[in-house]
Amino acid sequence: MVYTVTFNPSLDYIVEVKSFELGMTNRTSYEHMLPGGKGINVSIVLNNLEFDTTAFGFVAGFTGKQICDMVSEYGINTDFIQVDNGFSRINMKIKNIDGTEINGMGPQISEDNLHSLVSKIDRLSSGDVLVLAGSIPSCISDDIYRRIMGRLQGRDVKIIVDATSRLLLNVLEYHPFLIKPNQHELGDIFGVKLESKEEVIPYARKLQDMGAVNVLISMGGKGAVLIDEHGNVYEADAPKGELKNSVGAGDSMVAGFMAGYLQTGNYEDAFRMGVATGSASAFSENLATKEEIIEAAKKARCHDFIMALPDGYDTVIGEGGSSLSGGEKQRISIARAMLKDAPIVILDEATASIDPENEHLIQEAISALTHGKTIITIAHRLATIENADQILVIDGGTVAQRGTHKELLQQEGTYKKFIQIREQAEGWRIQ
């Protein structure tokens, strides 16, 4: 079982204000509310990936009740401790003002409350995973993570710590299985500014020397770096895409890493899974769900062959999809485009070098993709473009003709000649 601890959960109130003016009444054009807190985010993503989790933490007041209700709605086991003094915080996140956030304080947590949490954690045993993530209220000492880890020594519990400054440094003597600072947090620890993966690596090794087993550094749009317990260094660039929501991307990376490791026991697989999961959340309005992934796969006509793979959606397909056919890789690429939900999609020879059956399936996938989107297709095959709203014929590097398929057939020119040559070729027979 994976257990997560969130000391200071929140209701994340995410809003967008089209034209924000200081000193004036501003109205939202978009708003959404989610349960927040790093540990809760990890539980949600793990649950989406079909791993059972239990969420620990402290809640208070009417906001605390709402947090409990919303987390439970995800199907996650909750075992929060009710605090009498205060109420759980509301964090406002304004999307279109440089990621501006206004975070609440949270309730007052007593020693009795802490004792209740420690009693729950004391029940963990061999094979369990504990995630300690996020900040703590000012009323709690910054050695609390260290105290918890000290109680679990010798029980074969894998502990992940995603925290900053003293909270992180205090636990290193107990050899956490994984720590995940981002590049800025890593730089703050050592008093340096870190920009590149090359600059990050030696300081990540220093954290290993201080006691961490595995060190995962998230770097936002620059990707990530992992140094595993054997000293191997893995680097990954972030997939390209439109950043829609940075909230929870690092937590999703932690969840993806643990999901990958628990499935395969392989650090490289875990790292790739972590990067993919973190990116999926960054490109989505909310934390990515498995249902969204499966729905996209169905529309892209690749669900059936994925289910026929040895481990279904959990199958490791190799570098660059080496175990898949060309048509299968193209259909998965289309599914990824759907999942990203971009308003503009560019397809460059989407049906090149594939058999007629796969061409038909890909055309169906493209049709499912086009609703409400702008599709720009570069193609030599007629079937790919004959239903387009507008066809541009390029001849000698310039636009020679434009129009629909029917309109161009009525014009003398390159397009009509191409169709005539194609029809003649279809009648050819080898004697």
% the chain with pLDDT above 90: 26
- Whether 322 maps to a domain, the answer reads no
> 6-20, 205-219, 315-329 — which one is most confidently predicted on average?
205-219
Kindly state whether residue 53 falls inside one of the protein's structural domains: yes
**Alpha carbon of residue 88 to chain centroid:** 26
pLDDT for res 271: 87
Tell me, yes or no, whether 351 lies in a domain: no
Structure tokens at 179: 């720590």
- 302-342, pLDDT tens digit by residue? 567 677 777 776 666 555 556 676 666 766 766 666 555 66
Give the Å distances, CA to CA, from 215 to 209, 212, 235, 282, 407: 11, 7, 12, 21, 60
Is residue 27 one of the residues assigned to a domain?
yes
Residue 93 lies in a domain: yes
Q: Is 341 an annotated catalytic residue?
A: no
**CATH for 10:** 3.40.1190.20
128, 162, 228, 251: which one is catalytic? 251
Asked if 135 and 53 sit in the same domain, the reply is yes
For residue 325, tell me if it sits in a domain. no
pLDDT of residue 83: 92
pLDDT in tens, 292-303: 556 655 655 556
Of 176, 196, 220, which residue constitutes the final position of a domain? Answer: 176
Domain endpoint, select from 239, 270, 286: 286
Which of 235, 254, 286 is at the close of a domain? Answer: 286
**Does one domain contain both 101 and 3?**
yes
Q: Which domain holds residue 158?
A: 1-176
Q: What does the pLDDT read at residue 284?
A: 59
Query: What pLDDT is recorded for position 360?
Result: 66
- Are 127 and 270 found together in one domain? no
Instruction: Report yes or no on 344 lying in a domain.
Output: no
Pair (2, 50) in one structural domain: yes
Q: How far is CA 108 from the centre of its chain?
A: 33
Mean pLDDT value across residues 55-82: 92
Confidence of residue 205 (pLDDT cuts 50, 70, 90): very high
Indicate if 54 and 91 belong to the same structural domain: yes
The pLDDT value recorded for residue 204 is 93
Distance in angstroms (rounded) separating the CA atoms of residues 246 and 12: 13
Q: What is the reported pLDDT for 82? A: 93
Give me the pLDDT at residue 143, please: 87
| Domain identity same for 70 and 18 | yes
Higher-confidence position of 177 and 413: 177
* pTM: predicted TM-score of the whole model, two decimal places: 0.65
DSSP H helices, 283-386, are 290-299, 303-307, 326-340, 356-369, 382-385
Does 264 fall in a domain?
A: yes
35 and 167 assigned to the same domain = yes
Q: Are 284 and 245 in contact (CB under 8 A)?
A: yes
Q: 33 with 145, same domain?
A: yes
Shared domain check, 222 and 258: yes
**Can you tell me the distance from the alpha carbon of 195 to that of 97, in angstroms, rounded to the nearest whole number?**
24
| Domain match, 116 and 222 both | no
The confidence score (pLDDT) of residue 336 equals 65
pLDDT band at 286 (very low <50, low <70, confident <90, very high): low
pLDDT per residue as tens digits for the range 95-113 = 766 667 888 888 999 999 9
Taking 60 as the threshold, does the pLDDT of residue 370 lie above it?
no
129 & 220 share domain: no
How many domains are contained in the chain? 2
Tell me the C-alpha distance between 192 and 181, whole Å: 14
Q: Are residues 165 and 74 in the same domain?
A: yes
